[in-house]
């Protein structure tokens, strides 16, 4: 395999990896496009880490997560409708 072919093969592999990372991110509810560019500019490894630590953005607005049972409840709720946890705020 001559030099240019090796570079092109590496670039294609790199792009595929970025795509896989973006796919993994979108599965987790994290912006796939954002993670794709992070992977592209830094490395797919960084992209995986960022995707893994990012909080999902698909949580409906006006809701919060109960710290006790992890169910999604309305922001205005004073008591969790699932486990009756009392919210302090
Ligand atoms: Zn709860």
Considering Cα of 25, then 27, then 31, then 33, what sign does the dihedral take?
positive
40 near 50, Cβ under 8 Å?
A: no
Q: How far is the CA of 72 from the centre of ligand 1 (A)?
A: 8
Q: How far is the CA of 41 from the centre of ligand 1 (A)?
A: 40
- Give the pLDDT score at 66: 93
Domain boundaries, the chain: 3-56, 59-89
10-residue averages of pLDDT along the chain (89 residues)? 87 95 89 93 93 74 88 92 90
- Give the pLDDT score at 22: 94
Q: How far is the CA of 60 from the centre of ligand 1 (A)?
A: 17
Q: How far is the CA of 82 from the centre of ligand 1 (A)?
A: 5
Q: Could you give the C-alpha distances from 51 to 36, 38, 59, 62, 67, in angstroms and in order? A: 10, 10, 16, 24, 22
């Amino acid at each position: 395999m001559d030099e240019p072919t090796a570079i092109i093969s590496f670039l294609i592999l790199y792009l595929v990896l970025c795509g896989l990372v973006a796919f993994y991110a979108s599965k987790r509810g994290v912006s796939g496009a954002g993670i794709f560019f992070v992977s592209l500019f830094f490395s797919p490894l960084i992209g995986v880490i960022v995707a893994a630590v990012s909080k999902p953005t698909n949580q409906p607005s006006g809701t919060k997560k109960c710290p006790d049972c992890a169910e999604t409840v309305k922001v205005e709720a004073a008591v969790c409708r699932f486990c009756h946890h009392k919210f302090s705020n």
